[in-house]
A and B are shown apart, each in its own frame.
Chain A
Amino acid sequence: MSKVRVLVGTRKGAFILTSDGKRENWDVNGPFFGGWEIYHVKGSPVDPNRLYASLAGGWFGQVVQRSDDGGQTWEPVGNEFAYDGVPGTHQWYDGSQHPWEFKRVWHFEPSLTDPDLVYAGVEDAALFRSADGGKTWQEVSGLRQHPSGASWQPGAGGMCLHTILLDPRDSNRIYVAISAAGAFRTDDGGETWRPINHGLHSDFMPNPDAEVGHCVHRIALHPARPNTLFMQKHWDIMRSDDAGDSWREVSGNVPSDFGFPIAVHAHEPETIYVVPIKSDSEHYPPDAKLRVYRSRSGGQEWEALTHGLPQKNCYVNVLREAMAVDTLDQCGVYFGTTGGQVYVSPDSGDTWTAIVHDLPSVVAVEVQTLP
């Protein structure tokens, strides 16, 4: 019978939650790396026992841990993320130029075909690549050297490259998203990149329709339809059907189109999930009700999913990395909150239960579906 393994990163350590295909009874293991802030834990789709974890903190900087046995044991691997050549500068909060400085890894994206190949999205925004299982890292510098690079600026959470999507049909095509620069795409394996933000509108920018500068929070795609992208922007839920060349808003009837994560159902490419948050200065749900919103039409028309979720006095947030889906026949949806809950819906969002209630604030949730 299939199993699921949920990889949870929190402000004070990592946790691994496991269950069988019913997803009713759970084993909770951890904390791993107690006391470290875990930005992301992700497994290789080729070798599910190969996991990568990003540990970061104000005291001791960046550590990358790797497991080759599904998280039972870990070893530190390479943590040298050196920008290619002279790093140069980008725009700072006050409009001045600021040197590019590595701070932390926000996201790992293991290759779809090679267990030793993994990408890392980092702050200050750049894409790195390791071909030896994380021991050494090289910058994919064509991205940061895009002519717009000097105009990129940090969002409130820092200037982070937080989303990496690998096109399952074309290994030369990669999408990334940066706060607050926008979305970018390469079609030549990372040599050259171009902004793909046409159609995004951000009122906080001097030119709301500029080519770069948008605060993209998350992008998601369905592997069977990789030219269709869904985006949760700072404000606005967006959709593209031409690999990001153009976007249109599909916020429709959600109570707030501000939010962080967005996810696509494992078997229904037009079924997507968001978690509306009241505003960028009030990082909690509208009306104090924790609601996942599901669209079965690829956006625009949304329904609130509430069964099992707190519907009063709820003031948690759900961060951009903290939502994921499994690939069981009955698709499971998962998300973690800043209040330390990790919720699962084993029925595509119809009903929810808390796997755990009281973890440290949850930063990242990933799910592995195991044989």
Chain B
Amino acid sequence: MIRVVIPYHLRTLVGVNGEVKLEIEGPVTQRAVLDALEARYPALRGTIRDRVTGKRRAFVRFFACEQDLSHDPPDNPLPDEVAAGKEPFLVIGAIAGG
């Protein structure tokens, strides 16, 4: 069971309270987690990753286990603690805008 935390505005968009829990088959990667998240909540498509390029939106960051994973290749394995459900995968709205 993978634990995912999404930002407040995306939680309200899809009506989620607290963490999202996802079952993922195969390697636990950024791409696999986000694919599963968007499959559960289609309204999130385009809000975390660009619709056309599939790339992370500029003001969104991915954190886990006190690491910034935003610039990691999307098919890299996530930390073991995330894969084991001990730590959440955090989708963060970057501090921006003054």
Q: Do A and B come together as binding partners?
A: yes
User: How many residues from B make CB contacts under 8 Å with A?
Assistant: 22
Distance between Cα atoms of A35 and B57 in the complex (Å): 18
Question: Among the listed A57, A58, A63, A101, which residue makes an inter-chain contact with B43, where contact means beta carbons less than 8 Å apart?
Answer: A63
Chain B, residues 30-61, CB within 8 Å of chain A (1/0): the string is 00000000000001011110111000011110
Q: A82 contacts which chain B residues (CB < 8 A)?
A: 51-52
> Chain A's nearest CB lies how many Å from the CB of B6?
10
Task: Check if A59 sits within 8 Å of B7, measured CB to CB.
Answer: yes
Give the interface of A toward B (CB within 8 A).
35-36, 57-63, 76, 79-82, 101-102
Given contacts A63-B47, A82-B51, A82-B52, contact A58 B96 (CB under 8 A): yes
28 pairs, CB–CB < 8 Å, chain A vs chain B: A58-B58, A58-B97, A59-B9, A59-B60, A60-B7, A60-B10, A60-B13, A60-B47, A60-B48, A60-B60, A61-B46, A61-B47, A61-B50, A61-B51, A62-B46, A63-B13, A63-B43, A63-B47, A76-B13, A79-B43, A79-B45, A79-B46, A79-B51, A80-B45, A80-B46, A80-B51, A81-B51, A82-B51
B94 at the interface (CB under 8 A from A): yes
| Known contacts A59-B94, A60-B13, A82-B52; 6 further A-B pairs (Cβ under 8 A) | A36-B9, A58-B97, A59-B59, A60-B93, A79-B46, A102-B52
Given contacts A76-B13, A79-B51, contact A59 B46 (CB under 8 A): no
> Chain B's nearest CB lies how many Å from the CB of A134?
12
> Chain B's nearest CB lies how many Å from the CB of A61?
5
Distance between Cα atoms of A36 and B96 in the complex (Å): 14
Q: B96 contacts which chain A residues (CB < 8 A)?
A: 58-59
> Chain B's nearest CB lies how many Å from the CB of A115?
21
Distance between Cα atoms of A61 and B57 in the complex (Å): 8
Distance between Cα atoms of A59 and B50 in the complex (Å): 11
Distance between Cα atoms of A35 and B7 in the complex (Å): 12
> Chain A's nearest CB lies how many Å from the CB of B49?
9
Q: B52 contacts which chain A residues (CB < 8 A)?
A: 82, 101-102
Distance between Cα atoms of A80 and B50 in the complex (Å): 10
In the complex, which residue of chain B has the Cβ closest to the Cβ of A79? B46
Distance between Cα atoms of A58 and B59 in the complex (Å): 7
Distance between Cα atoms of A157 and B10 in the complex (Å): 26
Distance between Cα atoms of A82 and B8 in the complex (Å): 27
In the complex, which residue of chain B has the Cβ closest to the Cβ of A60? B47
Q: Which of A76, A81, A102 has the most CB of B within 10 A?
A: A76
The 6 closest A-B pairs by CB, nearest first: A76-B43, A60-B47, A59-B59, A59-B93, A79-B46, A61-B46
